[in-house]
Amino acid sequence: MHPGQAPGSHCCVQNVTNLLWTSRPARQHTARMNETFSTTPITGKAGQGRRISVAPMMALTDRHCRYFLRQISRSCLLYTEMLATTALLHGDRERLLAYSPQEHPLALQLGGSDPDELAACARLAADYGYDEVNLNLGCPSSRVQQGGIGACLMKQPSRVASCLQAMQDAVSVPVTVKIRLGVSGRSSQQELVDFVGCLANAGCQTFVVHARIAILEGLSPQENRSVPPLEYERVYQLKRSFPELEIILNGGVTDLDQAETHLREVDGVMLGRAAYYTPWVLSGVDERFFGQPHQPDRHQVLESMVSYANAYIASRDTHRLSHISRHMLGLFNGIAGARLFRRYLSERAHSRQATAELLLQAGELSRAGSTQSYMSVSQ
């Protein structure tokens, strides 16, 4: 049995096809109730579902990325990319909301500012079996701001409170928020406390806090992840101001030792790009933070992806292995053979003829760890 495979199940294309490509709410709900992949509940209390989570990241945390990360950690909470309410209500919601039951526990992040639209999307999330709905109040991109959503909403606490009330009235699953320490022109600690207090009065109990302010003009989203300084102490202060709330710290955390240090002060830690570009950082999460024995092996993770990838490739002519493998390039980062693994997949996975066995070939190449081996496999 591969790591991450439900007890009593068999790793085969047929099972993957039956479970992974269902998307309609009733079938999704049934699959979720029957599968036993993760035993970690999403309760809104520290030390359980949100103790360690992986951040929503645009163009990165799609369903393939999440399925891959789930092979490494069974327990950490995973988030979708942010979905705008307009896209969800007027676009292809089957494609946007579909996911694999093995991804649980799983949260859907929404971007929006209209209470009715957010309530409707929250209902969709609940119908599709998501474990949590999160409202994005931290994205500083100019494009997001033009839509009146993201970090700019931190200047409108009353409006956000109305949105949260509407979402909470619509669903029974937890409704949470992801915020910054503030935004340009509204960045003091007192303003942060007032903002959180307003949302808490509206019923919000869980706050994911990126430990930087957002500068809304003159910086790109990438610069907003590095130019404003990290201020962890302000997140700690926020927790001390609201001991009854669940406060999750996000921003700049690169390893589990750092996470453990932060957990002395807050209820949970959210990893971002460290979990994406060096995914093996998650391999110690289950046992260390959730008390769930799980010691995955990198090559077993590759094996567990084969049936999933082949089912995906076979399901539509335009599907390519690279849609999945692009998220896996960092699997061997930090050990011998990592560069050869990345190179082999990057050069071959986009081909129409590429099958999932290419993942195993790349893994064997990384094990051999030499340019000579690479040349022999390439011939």
Residue 334: which residues within 8 A CB-CB, separation 6 or more? 278, 280
Contact criterion met (CB below 8 Å) for 46 and 268: yes
**Residue 135, strand partner residues:** 110, 177
Phi, psi of 331 (to 5 degrees): -60, -35
**Residue 84, strand partner residues:** 111
**Residue 136, strand partner residues:** 178
Distance CA 46, CA 53 (A): 12
48: tokens are: 């359980």
**Residue 137, strand partner residues:** 179
Contact criterion met (CB below 8 Å) for 89 and 119: no
What is the number of helices (H) and of strands (E) in the chain?
Answer: 18, 8
Contact criterion met (CB below 8 Å) for 344 and 374: yes
Query: 59's torsion region: left (phi>0), alpha (psi -120 to 50) or beta?
Result: left
Q: Name the residue with tokens 């807050």.
A: 266
User: Comparing C-alpha atoms, which of 357, 335, 356, 363 is closest to residue 64?
Assistant: 356
Exactly one of 76, 121, 139, 204 is catalytic; name it.
139
Tell me if residue 139 is catalytic. yes
158: tokens are: 């009353």
Distance CA 134, CA 78 (A): 11
One-letter amino acid for residue 109 of the chain: Q
One-letter amino acid for residue 82 of the chain: M
Which positions are catalytic? 139
